[in-house]
Amino acid sequence: MFDDDDIKSGKVYLAGAGPGDPKLLTLRAAEAIGASDVIVYDYLVNPQVLAHARRGVELIYAGKRAGQPSISQEEINRLLISHALAGRTVTRLKGGDPFIFGRGGEEALALAQAGIDWEVIPGISSGIAAASYAGIPLTHRDHASSVAFITGHDGAKKRRSVDWSVTAWAADTLVIFMCAETIATIARELILAGRSPLTPIAIIRWGTFEHQEVFTGSLADIAETDSEIAPPAIAVVGDVVSLREKLRWFDHSTFPLRSMEAQAV
């Protein structure tokens, strides 16, 4: 704890680093990184964006990976608060956007309750960018007039988990985050809920990175396969996926879901 006489409250920036391509970092996020004394960053943050930091900055890795030991959310909250109370400028750097499945809302509440000055800096969500880099427009006048963002790894504690019987029809296009290990089960749930087994699906690994991979097929293809795909991955479900064949501008390799083999990290 800090003595009252020593407290000079700093500020915390909850900043989105974007989806992976370091050139998609916003100018405001780059400014925050450059002004910070401490940067607390996640697993999916491209290390190249840390080049905007000044010399001597304290870098703290707080990434979470499924099945591996990691710092708890409560510990991260305490870390942000303690550094701010010590008068430091802190950037909490997250992949994508901090308020879209990034737990930025939880950290903002903790900071607000502690009386810490904070600011949110939106980032380009991986749900939008990964699809764009895969050549998939999430909406299109002829194919989709609505889109829904859904978690495929639901850690709900104070609310109901995702009800796929309802969510299946939440929008024309479904973008499912954090779904590498659950997408086959989700595909079966979507079919049971009435989505056509022939509905196109794309699974995008490492979206916007140079080593991006895209797997395409139908809901039936992924529902029937026992293969697994390693995270990080996002799935896009809907007719717009069929446009990739003509619109893939960034990468030109497509892997069929039926022949999908387990992918290494």
Residue 233 pairs with which residues in a beta bridge? 205
At 196, list the tokens. Answer: 């056509």
At position 108, the amino acid (one-letter code) is A
Q: Which of 11, 21, 42, 94 is catalytic?
A: 42
User: Catalytic: 42?
Assistant: yes
Token reading at 179 = 């779904």
Rounded-to-integer distance, Cα 25 and Cα 49, Å: 7
In which order are the strands placed within the sheet that holds 117-121? 58-61, 38-41, 89-94, 11-16, 117-121
Q: Is 64 tagged catalytic?
A: yes
Q: Are 30 and 52 in contact (CB under 8 A)?
A: yes
Q: How many CB atoms lie within 10 A of CB 60?
A: 17
Catalytic annotation, pick one of 37, 64, 239, 251: 64
Active site members: 42, 64
